[in-house]
Chain A
């Protein structure tokens, strides 16, 4: 027994720069004097290097389009679903405007002919000319009409 510990996990931490100064000095000492520590160091360094040298593994073609497209589809669907709601709201506003307008201005487009005066003056004229057709024409003026 030479007093040195068997190689341990300090070697990985040593390679990763995760040891404090005292531990690093201790490992340096073991590596300088122990073939076991040097062998273990080289093997762990080999595994570490093999892992870090692995190339970036790429996703299969089309994967990212598939991951992202549902999101885009949902966004499109949200935009689409907003359109009918906007159209319905605008239609409602238009209908309400018409109803309100018809209530607020109920007689704005109504023509009220002065039926009694017209009838009287026409009756006077027909009585003077004694024309039968014009006599009958006075009857059609009794009911009001819309323009």
Chain B
């Protein structure tokens, strides 16, 4: 790494795992996550000269989220290309909070994928990428108050999705 600014390959090698995870949580499947990551890395490559040393993973999370939202808008113009939803997904039973484990992660991921795109982006930037509200607001181009509302409503919807019909929390 020369002068604090990493090369494109260093970003891919050292932060690719983080980038892929955020992309997957946004897209909900590996195929779309791979496309998001590749497009994000192209933007990283073009933008590295302007990168100011700081939170590299925050910067990467913002880029991949913008790629995702750009793709969402593009697919809305062409509905046949919409991100796939899983029609076979069924609401799982709600475990106690301390029972959340990797075995439960598929259900959480499916619930996350069911959120409206703008809510999902806010929730992923907050709870997966761990960005503060101010950075999320900059990433999404909305006021901090809107970020707070989207995160809260996203979590509320996700909680509802994780509770099977007839069950209570």
Residues on A facing B (Cβ under 8 Å): 8-13, 16, 18, 39, 42-60, 63-64, 67-68, 71
B30 touches A12 (CB 8 A): no
Beyond A54-B128, A63-B20, 5 additional contacts (C-beta under 8 Å) are A11-B152, A49-B100, A53-B101, A58-B17, A64-B13
Compute how far the CA of A60 lies from the CA of B37 in the bound complex, rounded to whole angstroms. 13
Are A46 and B169 within 8 A (Cβ)? yes
Bound: A60/B16 CA distance, A: 12
Provide the bound-state CA to CA distance between A130 and B24, in Å.
Answer: 110
- Nearest opposing residue in chain A for B150, CB measure: A9
Can you list 5 pairs linking A and B with CB atoms under 8 Å apart?
A: A9-B149, A13-B148, A18-B132, A46-B162, A51-B127
B77 CB-CB contact with A under 8 Å: no
B63 → chain A closest CB, angstroms? 15
> B82-119 CB contact bits vs A (8 Å, 1 = yes)?
00000000000000010011101100110010000000
Q: Across the interface, which residues of A come within 8 angstroms of B123, CB to CB? A: 51
Least Cβ–Cβ distance between A26 and chain B, in angstroms: 15
The residue of chain B having its C-beta at the shortest distance from the C-beta of A49 within the complex is B97
Please state if A18 and B148 are interface contacts (CB–CB under 8 Å): yes
Seen from chain B, the residues whose Cβ lies within 8 Å of a Cβ on chain A are 8-9, 12-13, 16-18, 20-21, 24-25, 30, 33-34, 37-38, 41, 97, 100-102, 104-105, 108-109, 112, 123, 126-128, 132-133, 148-149, 151-153, 155-156, 158-159, 162, 169
B25 touches A57 (CB 8 A): yes
Tell me the complex Cα distance, A33–B67, Å: 44
Complex CA gap A146/B149 in Å reads: 98
Chain A residues with CB below 8 A from B25, complex form: 54, 57
Majority secondary structure, B binding face: helix
The contact of B17 among A8, A56, A67, by CB within 8 Å, is A56
Among B41, B104, B128, B159, which residue has the most Cβ atoms of chain A within 10 A? B159
Which of the listed residues A9, A18, A39 has the most CB atoms from chain B within 10 Å of its own CB? A9
CA–CA, A57 and B126, complex, Å: 17
Chain B residues with CB below 8 A from A12, complex form: 148, 151-152, 155
A1 to B152, CA, bound (A): 24
- Nearest-neighbour CB distance to chain A for B133, whole angstroms, equals 5
Closest to A60 in B: B30
Nearest 9 CB-CB pairings of A with B:
A9-B152, A51-B127, A12-B152, A47-B155, A47-B159, A57-B24, A59-B20, A47-B158, A53-B100
For the complex, give the distance between the alpha carbons of A48 and B122 in Å.
12
Q: How far is the CA of A71 from the CA of B11 in the complex (A)?
A: 13
Question: In the docked arrangement, what's the CA distance between A47 and B20, Å?
Answer: 22
**Complex: A47 Cα to B153 Cα, angstroms:** 11
